[in-house]
Amino acid sequence: PLLKVAGGLLLIWIAVKLVTDNEGEAHEVAASDSLWKAVRTIAIADAVMSLDNVVAIAAASRGHPELFIFGLLLTIPLIIAGSQLVMAILTRMPLLVWAGAALLGWIAGEMVVGDVMSLQYMQSVNPEWVKPDSDAPTGLKPADLPHYLASAVGAALVVALGLLLRGRGKEKAHAT
């Protein structure tokens, strides 16, 4: 219980942080003075940032270390090139950052309203706010109205908080 609520609130925080990041730059990897240190830093960053990728490569290599190393060596440049491409697109079209943040807010709203405790509460207040779902572990899911309302509120909340906090940041910058 409340796991999806906590996840939804965390997702809202992440989305707001995404649009209020004053620096607008990705976290930089520490500079290295040798090629080996740079390769090691990239490999560590790859392992930390995309553990699912590493697990998939390990599974696909089926215990063959040479295939695992080949997979890592192949994916590291792809991840770097892909992230550079995405950063270039987001730099040219900052509206996409806001759209992505709003989407995260939408998903957060879905998560909050889909939590076990939320569903039980909605059912106790108005049974029409939930409907049966044989695929869900609780056997319930939100009806369309609370589902879309919570999703829209989540998206609007992220955009509103983002605009408010960015406005405050600009006021502080002008004051100094």
Spell out the per-residue pLDDT of the chain, length 176, in tens.
Answer: 788 999 999 999 988 988 887 544 444 444 444 555 555 555 565 555 566 676 778 888 888 889 888 988 888 788 778 878 887 888 888 898 899 999 999 999 999 999 999 999 999 999 999 999 988 888 899 999 999 999 999 999 999 999 999 887 666 766 66
pLDDT value of residue 141: 94
The per-residue DSSP string of 119-137 comes to HHHHHHH-GGGEEE-TTST
Domain ranges of the chain: 3-175
pLDDT value of residue 50: 63
- How far apart are alpha carbons 39 and 36 in whole angstroms? 5
- How far apart are alpha carbons 111 and 15 in whole angstroms? 14
Work out the end-to-end distance of the chain between its first and last CA atoms, rounded to an integer number of angstroms. Answer: 46
Who contacts 146 (Cβ-Cβ below 8 Å, separation ≥6)? 113, 122, 129, 130
Q: What's the pTM value of the predicted model, to 2 decimals? A: 0.67
State the burial class of residue 152 (Cβ atoms within 10 Å of its Cβ: 0-12, 13-18, 19+): middle
User: What percent of the residues of the chain are helix, what percent strand, and what percent coil, each to the nearest 5?
Assistant: 75, 5, 20
Cα 54 to Cα 2, 3, 28, 30, 57, distances in angstroms:
30, 27, 21, 22, 5
- How far apart are alpha carbons 140 and 120 in whole angstroms? 9
pLDDT value of residue 129: 96
Q: Is the dihedral of CA 167, 168, 171, 176 positive or negative?
A: negative
User: 62 — alpha (psi -120 to 50), left (phi > 0) or beta?
Assistant: left
pLDDT value of residue 41: 58
